[in-house]
Structure 1
């Protein structure tokens, strides 16, 4: 299959002030842990853990983040529109992405939310696993995904873990002025249960949690004039990655998501500092 990658900015006209009734921000001050406290106060985690297990490591909550935290994510997504790297893989995906490296530099609130100890503790309770942050050189650790043109989509896939352990995906709805649907299939890796199809159109503030190697999923194409932005967090049970898997993962991320400059930025920086010899992991 031929691969074509576009690296271009999204037109400023694609910016939107809010989504689905969430008003523009004004002096928001909520810290990430306070926002998570508010989110968890209305949840029965024991019941949600059972639901997660019954669905084969999948959970959907239509209303998770509080209003002010959601608005901060909307504001961040709008501010990062000029930083979007667009990619096109014929027959599989089209859309834009902003990696954790750019987020760290320009919108650190997202990184703070990702690292929230209270969020991680709750995710551990639901998954039953001890979770760790993705390594600092992983551009997917937290990233924004933009559908801003007609036909933007991603085909059926798994969030395959190239790490030695499991990798869990958290999707957070940010902006959804679109007709896009997250289609998924449960139990595809469990021979004792039939595949179970499902679909959600997760709004701003919604949460989706799943084991990346177990959930087969896709996002249906957007239409002309629509805007959809989602945020992903990735947590791992073992941050080690074998060299050949690292190479495959880096190439996939460079071609299909963030561009070579973002993915290999640490190696390039090391090469400049070391006089042309790259050192350490990329």
Structure 2
């Protein structure tokens, strides 16, 4: 279901010092952009920070300005494709799945598959990572808060895969008052829960183990716009049939709609691809 009333919402550009909207960013440069992002980072130090925080890392300035602008342009272009959902007491907002992204904004898929990004994430997490299967609509997806009250309540990004699933959040647009609240160490009996909060700007990165971080996004206000991009990586792409059904239902009801979820699921049923759900 498109959000025709929101087609005219155009978000602001990236923060001061960025290139203007429409600046040339050539196809095939996603991996190079990641390489520039990683150039000055101390990976060993960040790995230690990630471990100390119970599989959580926040970088306020990650993507270069031109790559960030590319994501902003894509998010604005995809406004007519947003599928909105409302679950009383839990969430309200819009989503654009990887299937629509593949069709209309494939540069995002290129960013998701960046060998430099995956290699760096493996160093931080200490795990061998794989791409999510082709029928997983959450593999990379955009999440839109464009109406007053859009939010998501406390949750984990529960993995329905046989292995672990890692979430990467990239800030795309944040002309909002929304806050990402989170709690560290909730699965560790030897450490007290540690609350935190962040309002991550365009180009920022957050990395966490979806089964370990309890988090939410506070409600948006009238006239605000917030868009984030999630990238999901797994350690084992297999999923048991009953978990696949639960995942499909969750995706259809809470995110992308029955038509897209089950059409894609049926198309890939013979390929053994698997899915998961949940993000901000």
Pairing of 1:228-243 with structure 2 (within 5 A): 228-243=226-241
Correspondent of 2:13 among 15, 18, 22: 18
Partner in structure 2 of residue 85 of structure 1: 83
- For 1:223 and 1:31, locate their aligned partners in 2 and report how far apart those are by CA, in whole Å: 36
Using the TM superposition, give the Cα deviation of residue 13 of structure 1 relative to its aligned residue in structure 2, in angstroms: 2.1
Task: Render the CA deviation track for 1:242-280: whole Å, top value 9, x for unaligned.
Answer: 00000001100110000011211234557xxxxxxx755
User: For the pair shown, which has the larger CA radius of gyration, 1 or 2?
Assistant: 1
Structure 1 counterpart of 2:277: none
Q: Equivalents in 2 of 1:253, 1:127: separation in Å?
A: 26
Range that drifts further, 16-25 or 177-186: 16-25
Specify the SS of the correspondent of 2:8. helix
CA contact under 8 A between 1:20 and 1:177: conserved in structure 2? no
2:38 is aligned with 1:44: no
Aligned runs of 1:148-163 on 2, under 5 Å? 148-163=146-161
Distance 2:57 2:214 in 1: 14
Q: 1: CA distance between counterparts of 2:55 and 2:25?
A: 34
Aligned to 1:9, which of 3, 19, 26? 3
Question: How many Å apart are 1:12 and its aligned residue?
Answer: 1.6
Partner of 1:186 in structure 2? 184
**What root-mean-square deviation, in Å, do the aligned CA atoms of Structure 1 and Structure 2 show?**
1.4
Structure 2 partner of 1:221: 219
Q: Cα deviations across residues 133-174 of structure 1 (Å, max 9, x unaligned)? A: 000000000000000000000000000000000000000000
TM (norm. structure 1) is 0.92
SS of the residue aligned with 2:195?
strand
Alignment of 1:18-167 (within 5 A): 18-21=13-16, 22=18, 23-29=20-26, 31-167=29-165
Q: Matches of 2:85 and 2:92 in 1, distance apart? A: 6
Secondary structure, counterpart of 1:14 in structure 2: coil
Number of residue pairs matched by the alignment: 269
Secondary structure in 1 matching 2:143: strand
Structure 1: segments with no counterpart, 5+ residues: 1-6, 271-277
Given that residues 135 and 265 in structure 2 are in contact (C-alpha distance below 8 angstroms), is that contact kept between their aligned partners in structure 1? no
Q: Is the 1:17–1:75 contact (alpha carbons within 8 Å) kept by the matching residues of 2? A: no
Q: Matched residue of 1:13: which SS?
A: coil
Comparing 126-135 and 15-24, the one that deviates more? 15-24
CA distance in 1, matches of 2:223, 2:195: 29
- Give the deviation of 1:19 after TM superposition: 4.0
Shift of 1:108: 0.4
Alignment of 1:203-282 (within 5 A): 203-269=201-267, 279-281=270-272
Q: Output the CA distance in 2 between the equivalents of 1:8 and 1:108.
A: 19
TM-score w.r.t. length of structure 2? 0.93
Match of 1:273 in 2: none
Three-state SS of the structure 2 residue aligned to 1:232 is strand
